[in-house]
Amino acid sequence: MKILYLLFAVFLLIFQATSGSADPLFADTVECRSQGNFCRAGACPPTFTASGSCHGGLLKCCSK
């Protein structure tokens, strides 16, 4: 049973996210989010309009 605690600790260290690992890599994504908008795959919600692209053109930048 003691090995389970050690195994749990090892998994916790392996799958721990590092700070800054979720930073956007694309310039269009940074520009979209800096304007207070968000990126979405597919159509924007009904009260939002597509104002650009994100992730190198794969997603839409939705704005109010």
pLDDT at 21: 54
User: Alpha helix (H) ranges present in the chain?
Assistant: 2-14, 27-34
State the CATH class of domain 25-63: alpha beta
pTM of the model: 0.58
Confidence (pLDDT) at 3: 82
Predicted confidence at residue 1, as pLDDT, reads 65
How do the pLDDT tens digits run along the chain, 64 residues long? 678 888 888 888 877 755 555 655 788 888 999 999 999 998 999 999 999 999 888 999 999 8
**Domain extents in the chain:** 25-63
